[in-house]
Structure 1
């Protein structure tokens, strides 16, 4: 017998950080709000829908956002509050299925093919989840329902905010062929521009290419593009999904120029990264240092160890070892970042020897 058609839901909270701030502060409701720093070098972490109508977007420089929307109200992020609300939402998911794959604090995939409430309709489940989220948190979510992850993700973006859109098996191919390649989840701006250069503008154009052609120009990703152009995505909802990396970075109000300033500024970044590792008991083996200079030139340096980094002293030593060769700096530093990758859950004994494999 063929496998049953899967029932996948993608839940995406609407303007999550900004919506939490508007919920908790009535004075912000109905106004353009940006979560982030308003300093000259600040960055927008999230924008309310009122701000988005002016063209304000996440990851936009704050000065640019203010030019687009002079009435923009900046609010400092409260990540502990966002995490607490995210946990409320995940508790709701768990009432329906153990197959939940969180992608971030504000979005997740759910496989409800077999679910804890025995509800046959994935659309009904998505509707119930949206209603419970609104009732318990006062926030709205958008939901996409389909037979694979790729289409469910597209569907959740289709009717935001507070949307619910369903792409049925018989609709998948037609839905995909009308999209521009830039609307495909997994195809970024650079790749979309490259596809346009090759005469590929829509899903239908993409479907007209052979897998060999797509592999020639896009490497291993070509196989993925070949499949999604045909509305095919066999990826499972992975409830045990582990983050590929964890990192922390900061842009400074003024350029850092001395060795001491740079070393001291690494400390809170290392604390942030280690805090995640300590809470989750997930440790990594590769440390990466990111440095952006005053002229916006950016470099990264990485080092991998044979055994997991099992205490903050090891992480600090590796980060400082990566910084050392860059000192003294010939130009001011505007941004520093530290990240840890090659993550995995490990019960590591204390006192493991630090074994460097490459620098």
Structure 2
């Protein structure tokens, strides 16, 4: 495996984010009964923002002027999507907390607490509530996704539990949870063509796969068996396994699974021209598991017609 960087600073919300760069913190929870899911991403320098992309074309752009909190609830009858980008003065943070508009992440003792109150799009509505995520251990390693170390990934707490309590809509659940962060000094489209990522709870903790194709054609695959105590073990790279394309936009997607495994899509949560998020049933490390999975195509993201569609899903507040 290339790109391990264990000498980087430990987790903080106030790390430096350079011009044209980004930092995001990602949480997902899948309910124990398999019916509901929640994903939250807090961005400084929203990497999927058409506004940030347009600003970068004019010269170096400040990522702190493009913060956003993405909150998405999945489940029959409960789908909610919110991603409102805000101005620099809507962002505040210190080592242990991060606030973007009316939503925030913070540490309370050993738990990560996320509180959010966001307006949904494209169907107007509201999603309000909280998540309390309790890690069983912290992963010490940080990994480079490119040869130059300009894009880093830290699977901070991939084997966690979380309690989700919502007011709008009125629903609560608990389940296996995951928490990581990505940060970089350049836009994703400057260095990446494609990636597939997945995380699956296992009897030991979690199996996390990160499969990256860079713009220069090189490929990096991280296949990690992460214990509940945060210990990391590299495993042999599972073979590629096909998945059906997205149902609406037909975005290609694939994964990796144990030899002989036959992954299948259980639910497609997000189906866009450049990105899919799905729950899949697969086999990893000799176990039958269900996994959160995503595929991302940066060439698709940079197409002009896609950029013109994005404001309908991610508005920007100028006040």
- TM-score band w.r.t. shorter chain: under 0.3
Superposition TM-score, scaled by structure 1 size: 0.22
Length-normalised TM-score, structure 2: 0.25
Flag the structure with higher strand content. 2
Larger Rg: 1
Query: Where is the helix percentage greater, Structure 1 or Structure 2?
Result: 1
